[in-house]
Chain A
Amino acid sequence: MAQHPTGHSHDAHGDSHESHGSLKSYVIGFVLSLVLTIIPLVAVLNDIVEGTAARVVLLVTAVLQFVVQLFFFMHLREEKKPRWNLMALILGLVIVLTIVIGSIWIMTYNAVA
């Protein structure tokens, strides 16, 4: 917020004239996320896949959905150096994996009948 009309290097806004995507990239992203939503929906509702296979389909499409969001809407590729967003994302992923894997590991021994 604190910036002079002339702008200084440490301004929050002064140097953030990064590209915010084109109409084309937004449309591609939107279509991709629609497709990735329809695939699991159709697959599960119509009993095309079952059991482990269904879970794999759900998880894989969910992860792809996540990637689409990051690239087409969160503009992960367009960030200038130093790439704080990318670093925060990687750390966040490490923590998420810790939470999921750690919980599974800990709770393996604690199933309630």
Chain B
Amino acid sequence: MDKIKDFASDFFVTGDPLIYGADVAIVLVTVAIVAVLTYFKKWGWLWREWLTTVDHKKIGIMYILAALLMLFRGGVDALLMRTQLIMPNMDFLKPEHYNEIFTTHGVIMILFMAMPLMFGLFNIAVPLQIGARDVAFPVLNSLSFWLFFMGAMLFNLSFVIGGSPNGGWLAYPPLTEKMFSPGVGQDFYIWGIQISGIGSLMTGINFIVTILKMRAPGMTLMKMPMFTWSVLASSLTIILAFPILTVTLALLFIDRFLGAHFFTLDGGGNPMMYINLIWMWGHPEVYIVILPAFGIFSEVVATFSKKKLFGYTSMVFALMSISVVSFFTWAHHFFTMGSGANVNAFFAISTMIIAIPTGVKVFNWILTMYKGKISFKTPMLWTMGFIPCFVVGGMTGVLLSVAPADFQFHNSYFLIAHFHQVLIGGVAFGYFAGLYYWWPKMFGFSLNEKLGKWAFWLWNIGFYVCFMPQYVLGLMGMTRRYSTYGWDTGWFGLNLVSTIGAFLMGAGFLFQVWQILHSIKFMEKDTTGDPWDGRTLEWSIPSPAPMYNFATDPQVREVDDWWEEKQRLASGGAPRPKPALEPIHMPKNSGMPFIKATFWFIAGFGFVFDWMWMAIPGLIGVAACMLAHSFNYDTDYYIPVDEIERTEAAARRGV
């Protein structure tokens, strides 16, 4: 009995009322979900329509749901931290708990919020923009999602079972080596990221192939919508950067699990090698998440200014050059490591160079708006909020890239303010713009504009209130990851203001949740399929898109083909002849991805606790799924013509 008690007190996180509250909430929510599904007999529906689906639109929706959930978790982490820092000598969070919270905040916001939200928008928009019926590898796409999901769940489990990682979001050794972090938190970190990382890599491959091979007839590369270009650039960066992360974390795992010495201080290891390697992934990673946001802004700014995007070619060139140059700047994250003047000079200059294509893009967006007929819908508001915010964030980035000055800024709140400004002002604003922009295409109704404006202004004002003081705090000497500070520092006032700003953004998030719930209940169905008077192919089909997307292959003649076609029809042009319907070839649903990802979860959990009796069967299950899938030839079917006709007629009637 005592043995069981000992085990339970190690296995579950104990001793913190906040965690007990979360335990109760998790149990209640799980019971509620199971009860609702059972009561309404929805288990079969869940399995057939969602868990086994290979439809890119549904996978996209699942990505976005999961990302919003993670945004909530990461946001609560942020608010807990800001509450702890609201005034000197606060005793709200214990230092160890604070360490765990800033670690999980960073990991969740980048890897389990920004990445899935981005993949969700890839899935929603790219096949529709290029006139394809799905991605190139639909089953792989579903596997990517489930690997992400299981990885994220494994990581989040650490919060109630075993203890969260507390070594910072990039887990620098030697702190994260077994000697200094003996608990299971770091192993949760490693396996959560490894499992979802495989999914990210596969998504990168999937979208490169989709974009290169599955464009509608007539859509040459230089006629692709700008968002599709940005996805291509981002995916290219993913497939080159994510293997570096996988290898680096694998080496750290070997250190911890087998007692190797890659990053230890003894036995010939060198912890600085880890820092070098992780930033080779880490720097491209921030461009991976920002490039699609640039793509979204380009779509939104053209649509809501009723003008062609200014400087299409320069935009493409800027995107692609950013994706390559991003691999040559990583050492600017550790100028203070002492790599010598030549190294620092090289990486300082390469960092400044990358600001040039970014500047080109900003001018392109502004010139697109110039003399345009701008309508201030919510996607456009986020875009216009983004431009000044990102310009300031980019400028402080250039300040940080000056290597000698960086010795002052390094790891201070100046840095914190900088990267939050580009990640919130750039990435989060961008994905919100994308979410509002494509929401009607996903669900067939728009989101309430009034509540959306409240959310926008709360986020936008809250952002400046929260992070502008942090620049100053950084210059006053406040270092990141302090769990508390004294009255003698003089940091009280600015920290108080910053915390108020954080809660304003929290209120903005609540408005978004309210907006979504309100719109589900009250918004009218969009029967046009084109509520924004859009420019690209996704707006030429009904909302939500039928499962096969396009009844017949669209024929593309120019950039913004749908817009040009509408102009031609408006000026009295004859509609293009409709090609005859043909049966449509579609992929069949598959349960393999979900089952395989579950086995990965089991294996990961086993490795975390060093339980080989669990890890090995998990890996065997993964291998069995691979084997079973490679002998499955029953993968596709045809939708007959009369069914397409029925679906199209129903979509046009708006039922």
Give residues in A with beta carbon < 8 Å to B. Answer: 1-6, 8-12, 84, 88, 91-92, 95, 98-99, 102-103, 105-112
Main secondary structure of the interface of B (DSSP, over half): mixed
Extra inter-chain contacts (18) besides given A1-B133, A5-B582, CB under 8 Å: A1-B134, A2-B134, A2-B214, A2-B586, A4-B553, A5-B583, A10-B132, A10-B213, A99-B280, A106-B276, A107-B270, A107-B339, A108-B340, A109-B338, A110-B338, A110-B339, A112-B269, A112-B272
Q: Are A103 and B276 in contact (CB under 8 A)?
A: yes
Q: A110-B337, A112-B270 are in contact. Are A1 and B138 (CB under 8 A)?
A: yes
Q: Are B586 and A1 in contact (CB under 8 A)?
A: yes
Count of A-B contacts with CB under 8 A? 93
Chain B residues near A106 (CB, 8 Å)? 276, 331, 337, 339, 343
**Which of these, A1, A91, A105, A110, contacts B636 with CB under 8 Å?**
A1
Interface membership of B596, Cβ < 8 A:
no
How far apart are the CA atoms of A66 and B340 in the complex, in Å? 34
**Which of these, B133, B240, B244, B270, contacts A110 with CB under 8 Å?**
B270
Chain A residues near B339 (CB, 8 Å)? 105-107, 109-110
- Least CB distance, A15 to chain B, in whole angstroms: 9
Q: A106-B331, A110-B272 are in contact. Are A84 and B212 (CB under 8 A)?
A: yes
Identify the 10 closest CB pairs spanning chains A and B, nearest first. Answer: A2-B133, A109-B340, A109-B339, A110-B272, A1-B587, A3-B585, A112-B270, A4-B582, A106-B339, A95-B240
Give residues in B with beta carbon < 8 Å to A. Answer: 132-138, 208-209, 212-217, 236, 239-240, 244, 265, 269-270, 272-273, 276-277, 280, 324, 327-328, 330-331, 337-340, 343, 548-549, 553, 582-587, 636, 638
Q: Are A2 and B638 in contact (CB under 8 A)?
A: no
Q: Are B217 and A8 in contact (CB under 8 A)?
A: yes
The 15 sampled A-B contact pairs (Cβ below 8 Å) are A1-B587, A5-B582, A6-B582, A10-B214, A10-B215, A10-B553, A11-B214, A12-B213, A84-B212, A92-B240, A99-B244, A103-B276, A107-B276, A111-B270, A112-B269
Chain A residues near B343 (CB, 8 Å)? 105-106, 109
Chain B residues near A98 (CB, 8 Å)? 327-328
- Least CB distance, A6 to chain B, in whole angstroms: 7
**Which of these, B214, B217, B324, contacts A91 with CB under 8 Å?**
B324
Chain A residues near B265 (CB, 8 Å)? 112
How far apart are the CA atoms of A99 and B553 in the complex, in Å? 43
Chain A residues near B328 (CB, 8 Å)? 98
- Least CB distance, A16 to chain B, in whole angstroms: 9
- Least CB distance, A71 to chain B, in whole angstroms: 22
How far apart are the CA atoms of A84 and B338 in the complex, in Å? 40
Chain B residues near A2 (CB, 8 Å)? 132-134, 214, 548-549, 584-586
Q: Are A4 and B585 in contact (CB under 8 A)?
A: yes
Q: Are A12 and B214 in contact (CB under 8 A)?
A: yes
Chain A residues near B270 (CB, 8 Å)? 107, 110-112
Q: Are B583 and A4 in contact (CB under 8 A)?
A: yes
How far apart are the CA atoms of A99 and B240 in the complex, in Å? 11
Chain B residues near A10 (CB, 8 Å)? 132, 213-217, 553
- Least CB distance, B457 to chain A, in whole angstroms: 42
Residue of chain B at shortest CB distance from A16? B213
How far apart are the CA atoms of A57 and B338 in the complex, in Å? 34
Chain A residues near B338 (CB, 8 Å)? 109-110
How far apart are the CA atoms of A99 and B276 in the complex, in Å? 9
Q: Are A91 and B236 in contact (CB under 8 A)?
A: yes
How far apart are the CA atoms of A95 and B272 in the complex, in Å? 20
Chain B residues near A11 (CB, 8 Å)? 213-214
Chain B residues near A91 (CB, 8 Å)? 236, 240, 324
How far apart are the CA atoms of A105 and B346 in the complex, in Å? 11
Q: Are B585 and A1 in contact (CB under 8 A)?
A: yes
- Least CB distance, A25 to chain B, in whole angstroms: 23
Chain A residues near B553 (CB, 8 Å)? 4, 8, 10
- Least CB distance, B201 to chain A, in whole angstroms: 13
Chain A residues near B638 (CB, 8 Å)? 5
